[in-house]
Structure 1
Amino acid sequence: MKVSYLVLAAFTTVSMISCVSSKKFKAEQARYAELNGRYDSLQNNLKGCEDAKAEEARKRAGLQSDLDALAKQLDLLKQNNTSALKQLEDLSVISSSQAESIKKSLDNIGAKDAYIQDLQAQMARKDSLNMALVMNLKGALGNMDDQDINIKVDKGVVYVDISDKLMFKSGSYSITPKAKEVLGKVATVLKAQPDIEFMVEGHTDNNELRGNIGPMKDNWDLSVMRATSVVRTLQKQYGLDPAKMAAAGRGEFKPVSDNTTSEGKAANRRTRIVILPQLDQFFKLLEKKA
């Protein structure tokens, strides 16, 4: 009897140790899966930022090449004018009025050179601001599905595309709770740069509305109502300055994909936030040139 009791006690102890180890192992497995998921999300965010940075670098390289060529032409003109002026002075056949005219030409070339340098500085600053804005937006929306949100820079303009299935129910312009969460994150980034102006565009596919839905008669109405719903939410719920916002409806007439497939229609049903370039800076440069 005593031997049987000892065997039973030993078996019970081993079973308890095995049970505890199994629970700990499963807990570590769950923790590993969670960390691995976070790692994959961070990797996706990093790849998006690197892609945007590479695209900006390619565009900037093209613009820099054009500016370098123009700068070389200016250097050549300077050299030719300086040489001509020196020859005329040596021959003593130049009048004072002619010398003054040539001097003004040289001064104009110098002014153009300074103008180009100013343009280069403004371009570099705008590129830096756009890249910082894209990275801030991607960081704020980093845990969102890439299929539902797309952030890109095209020709110096930042675009944020949000899918229809995330923003609204079918045929509706009422913003979903999930969409309000997204808009709140976007608003946080935009409020940090109060000088930024932006436009909210509503887009639809080419399916016609069946009957009148409230005040809406067609896709024009639907796209406009969706855009105004977004700017109204950004203003009233998140405190963005309404003077910095605009709402526009594009209807079905600015598709990004083929409307003959369900996937294409889904891509075309979107809300786009367009961060408008600050053109007044470049107009001021043009005024200086004049």
Structure 2
Amino acid sequence: MKFLKIAPILFLGAVLITSCVSKKEYMQLQSENSKLQDANKDLTTRYASTTQDLNIAKSRNASLEEQIAQQKSALAALQESLDKCLAGNNQGGANIAKLVDEINVSNKYIRHLVDVKNKSDSLNMVLTTNLTRSLSADEMKDVDVKVLKGVVYISLSDNMLYKSGSYEISDKAGASLAKIAKIITDYSTYDVLIEGNTDNVPISQPNIRNNWDLSALRASSVVQALQNNYGVDPKRLTAGGRGEYNPVADNTTDAGKSKNRRTQIIITPKLDQFMDLIGKAPEKPQ
């Protein structure tokens, strides 16, 4: 009978101890989750700002080409007017001289715009060539380098970068990241956006709510590795995540999912420097 009285007490104590431990773990998880949410908010804000700059950078080549086309059209119209003046000789030498001056200025501005575009394209091609030459054949299986609309995209597979199901950088990623970091350091006038992407399979890891979190955390891991391990200036770096919402392949196949699980390093000239180049256009005659 005495044993029967003691048994409930022992059981109650065990329950209380278990409950206490679970509560402690819960509070710890809650604290870590709160920190992750704060970090995610900060990344989201920085990412939105950098994405806006990136969109402007993407459109600048199209804008330059449009300006070049407009200037060529204006030049053709001026040349036509000049031809009429020379043929009829009824508008006087002053008008002809003015048209000649405008044609010369228009020609100079077209050359200026073409030089700006060529300079940007050339720098990007040199950057891309230097990077691809530095990577081995095995590394190139997990690294894709492209230039789109004047912006350099380096796409890295998650198999090469991260430990399985994690946002921690794997040991084997070190050599490739070191080579990419050297290129980033050499081209010090470029800004760098690290963008995480996932497939559409829901994540089931403690403290990671969804694929938004996972993609942002992976991008942040790459940023910190570039800063802490390879000395890249953190002022040039921005981390952001796009979750599963920027696929490049069909998520219904394993091959497609593998392509979508990637981290992109997006390298683009700083916008203020680009606008300085545009601002150095020749002045029109008075």
Task: Settle same-fold status: TM greater than 0.5.
Answer: yes
Task: Find 1:166's aligned residue among 148, 160, 165.
Answer: 160
CA distance, structure 1, for counterparts of residue 217 and residue 236 of structure 2: 19
Task: Find 1:221's aligned residue among 203, 209, 213.
Answer: 213
Task: Find 2:194's aligned residue among 200, 215, 227.
Answer: 200
SS at match of 1:237: helix
The answer on 1:180 being equivalent to 2:174 is yes
The answer on 1:251 being equivalent to 2:243 is yes
Q: CA deviation at 1:107?
A: 4.0
Deviates more, 1:81-90 or 1:168-177: 81-90
TM-score by length of 1: 0.66
Runs of 4+ in 1 over 6 A off after TM superposition: 63-66
The alignment yields a C-alpha RMSD, in angstroms, of 3.0
CA distance, structure 2, for counterparts of residue 284 and residue 65 of structure 1: 19
Structure 1: give runs of 5+ residues left out of the alignment.
Answer: 1-59, 91-98
SS at match of 1:251: coil
Residue identity opposite 1:152 in structure 2: K
| Rg larger for | 1
Q: CA deviation at 1:125?
A: 1.6
CA distance, structure 1, for counterparts of residue 251 and residue 228 of structure 2: 35
Matches within 5 A, 1:267-278: 267-278=259-270
2:151 corresponds to which residue? 157
Matches within 5 A, 1:28-47: none
Q: CA deviation at 1:284?
A: 2.8
Residue identity opposite 1:236 in structure 2: N
2:110 corresponds to which residue? 116
Q: CA deviation at 1:174?
A: 0.5
State the aligned residue count. Answer: 218
Q: Is the 8 A contact 1:140 1:189 kept in 2?
A: no
1:10 corresponds to which residue? none
Q: CA deviation at 1:79?
A: 4.7
- Of all paired residues, the percent bearing the same amino acid is 41
1:133 corresponds to which residue? 127
CA distance, structure 1, for counterparts of residue 75 and residue 176 of structure 2: 50
Q: CA deviation at 1:244?
A: 1.1
2:234 corresponds to which residue? 242
Q: Is the 8 A contact 2:116 2:278 kept in 1?
A: no
Q: Deviations over 1:24-51 (max 9, x none)?
A: xxxxxxxxxxxxxxxxxxxxxxxxxxxx
